[in-house]
Amino acid sequence: MTRLPALALLGSLISLTAPTARAATQPITAPAPAPPASQPRDASLDQYRAHLQALAPLVEACAKARDTKTCDPTLVGPDDQVPVSQAPNAEHRLIRYGWLRVLLSKAQETDKPAPKTKPSESGTRQSWENVRPAPLTTTQLLKDAQTRLAADLAQANTPAQPPANHDPDHNQVRATMKQVLSGSEYANLETTTPKDSAFEKVGNWLNSLLDSAMRASARAPWLGRALVWGFVLALCVALVWGLLQLERRWRIRLVPEDHTPAPGAASATPWQVWLEDARRAAAAGLWREAIHFMYWASISRLESKRLWPADRARTPREYLALVGPEDPRQPGLSTLTGSFERVWYGGRPAAEADYQRAEQIASALISGSNISGQSGTGGAPQ
């Protein structure tokens, strides 16, 4: 009695598992996956028109039903890459339908009631909330989508024609550009020279260097201060160096070789002429004039050697002050200057011995040999 139910239960289990075993042995064929909506497809003009024709009733049905099944965004399909002409290597234009997918996803919900307008604070003035236009509802957007799809379909059915002023050689563009370039503001327009290109490259390099320094200073604030103080230090060093160079040139007092002395200066008359005049005056017994000419012969000779710049306004004492105390010519010039001042400016009489002493000192100054400046026998009276 108990074995029959057990056998019946075993038979029922075998009958239930048999179809499952047969199904496991058969190969499973998966459906071909549809291309994702984000990946556009290459479509011809006819396929693009058919796609637009299929989207029009889809939007119309969604506008009527407003449910999840009818307004499914996946029903829109992928975007289209459509050739712009019938040429073999024509350029393709990407037609996106993302706006329609978003609209269908939004159409699955009913329209929300329009927000109530806030009363204005005063009876004569309107608040900015009342002035703003009310946003379009989803129903209105679905109607606009139908209009847009119809316009796109009409444009796709219209054959592309070149414009009336089509200029394949761009002659009109060239004429317009020539007219613009003939203006006064482009009168001095020149081509870029290699020098300008080099300067532009240097400027770009400096700009990139400064830009890198600014970015580095933003990360390290001390770097910016170091650059500023380094620039100030370099500027100060350059200024001090320039001032030292100017001071050195002023101290040396370079005089050009081809610089002629001003009229009236001692060196304007050659020292040989002064010396010749002194000897003629001595031969005539004019000892005061002879000492006068002998003194200026010495001054002219020293001035021609660039011992000092020529200046016709100097006095004998100023000439003497230009010779340093360590100069071996200073004692002789001092003695000659004193003798000249006594007999010429002091009005004292001069004798032949005074002239011979002055000629001896002047000859030493002119030849550059050393001579004692002490006055000896026959010197001028004190």
For residue 264, what are the CA distances in angstroms to 261, 268, 290, 296, 322? 8, 6, 19, 12, 19
The predicted structure's pLDDT at residue 376: 38
Residues with Cβ within 8 Å of 335's Cβ and at least 6 positions away in sequence, in order, are: 361, 373, 374, 375
Q: Which residue ranges make up each domain of the chain?
A: 41-112+135-157, 207-253, 266-367
- The C-alpha angle 280, 285, 289, rounded to 5 degrees, equals 65
Q: Are 266 and 303 in contact (CB under 8 A)?
A: yes
CA distance 356 to 380: 11
CA distance 375 to 352: 14
CA distance 264 to 286: 23
The predicted structure's pLDDT at residue 202: 93
Q: Which residue intervals of 72-170 are DSSP H helices? A: 98-107, 128-131, 138-157
Pick the CATH number of 266-367 from 3.40.47.10, 3.40.190.10, 1.20.120.330, 1.10.150.20: 1.20.120.330
The predicted structure's pLDDT at residue 148: 94
Give the phi and the psi of residue 185 in degrees, each rounded to 5. -70, -15
The predicted structure's pLDDT at residue 346: 85
- Per-residue b/e over 98-120, b at no fewer than 16 CB within 10 Å? eebbebbeebbeeeeeeeeeeee
CA distance 8 to 273: 162
pLDDT tens, N- to C-terminus, the chain (382 residues): 444 344 344 444 444 444 443 433 444 333 334 445 568 999 998 999 999 999 999 999 999 999 999 999 999 999 999 998 777 788 889 999 999 999 999 998 888 776 666 555 555 555 555 666 778 899 999 999 999 999 999 998 887 665 556 666 678 888 888 888 888 878 777 778 888 889 999 999 999 888 887 787 777 778 778 878 888 999 999 999 999 888 877 765 544 544 566 666 666 788 888 888 888 888 888 898 988 888 888 888 888 887 777 776 788 888 888 888 888 888 888 888 888 888 888 888 888 888 899 889 988 888 876 554 444 333 333 3
Strand order in the sheet with 80-83: 41-42, 80-83, 92-95
CA 377 to chain centre: 83
CA distance 259 to 241: 28
CA distance 323 to 319: 7
